[in-house]
Chain A
Amino acid sequence: ILNVEQSPQSLHVQEGDSTNFTCSFPSSNFYALHWYRWETAKSPEALFVMTLNGDEKKKGRISATLNTKEGYSYLYIKGSQPEDSATYLCAFSPNTGNQFYFGTGTSLTVIP
């Protein structure tokens, strides 16, 4: 079992604030890093799949960066809105086997 850690565990921000959180994963045997947004009572929505060191992906106000050498990915949300409130999960795929290791998630609450 590999450790995929996310921090912080939970986060409360004011509407309009920008925020970011971290996903840490093993730097060896890297294949891919996935980000999901999971709103309460809905299915998780895939945000990004990142495979190359230095990758930057953007979707609207949400962006992510990847550092495979040091084993971390940042997710940024610019100008947070109440509809951004959700749990953000990352998942790590090593290049051996078929394991898919989810992090513990960061629960974001955006206060209007």
Chain B
Amino acid sequence: AAGVIQSPRHLIKEKRETATLKCYPIPRHDTVYWYQQGPGQDPQFLISFYEKMQSDKGSIPDRFSAQQFSDYHSELNMSSLELGDSALYFCASRRVRTEAFFGQGTRLTVV
């Protein structure tokens, strides 16, 4: 069965650079959630989208933006990267009345 695909799996960027993380939901899933998990920290909800519209917003820094496209994939854009942005970024997808399924995550390292 198709799962949630995240790309890239690993990313290394320098401070002040920009990074784009992608999430491809399970087919027919219309909702995407983004989470950030720093080293040794609890996961933090960033933002979610339903039917290509932002539906909920968590602790997402102003330097980050995200959107969901017409094919339901989502991208998280991160600018002016800081060392503290180094983390695992997970996305999850679901469709109405089902559980959420998580991707394998993207490990971002800012050096």
Which residues on A are within 8 Å of B, measured CB to CB? 1, 31-32, 34, 38, 40-44, 46, 49, 87, 89, 91, 93, 98-102, 104-105, 107
A–B complex contacts, Cβ < 8 Å, 28 sampled: A31-B97, A32-B97, A38-B43, A40-B37, A40-B40, A41-B37, A43-B102, A43-B103, A44-B90, A44-B102, A46-B99, A46-B101, A87-B42, A91-B100, A93-B97, A98-B30, A98-B31, A98-B50, A98-B51, A98-B96, A98-B97, A99-B55, A100-B48, A100-B100, A102-B45, A105-B42, A105-B43, A107-B42
Q: Count chain B residues whose beta carbon lies closer than 8 angstroms to a beta carbon of A.
A: 27
3 pairs of A and B residues whose beta carbons are closest in the complex: A43-B102, A98-B96, A44-B102
A49 touches B99 (CB 8 A): yes
Scan B76-111; emit 1 where CB is below 8 A from any A CB, else 0. Answer: 000000000000101010111101111111000000
B104 touches A43 (CB 8 A): yes
Contacts beyond the supplied A87-B42, A98-B97: 10 A-B pairs with Cβ under 8 Å: A1-B56, A31-B97, A40-B37, A41-B37, A42-B105, A44-B92, A89-B43, A98-B95, A100-B31, A102-B45
Which residues on B are within 8 Å of A, measured CB to CB? 30-31, 33, 37, 40, 42-43, 45, 48, 50-51, 55-56, 88, 90, 92, 94-97, 99-105
B100 touches A34 (CB 8 A): yes
Measured CB to CB, the nearest residue on chain A to B45 is A102
A87 touches B97 (CB 8 A): no
Question: With A40-B37, A43-B103, A43-B104 given, is the CB distance from A100 to B43 under 8 Å?
Answer: no
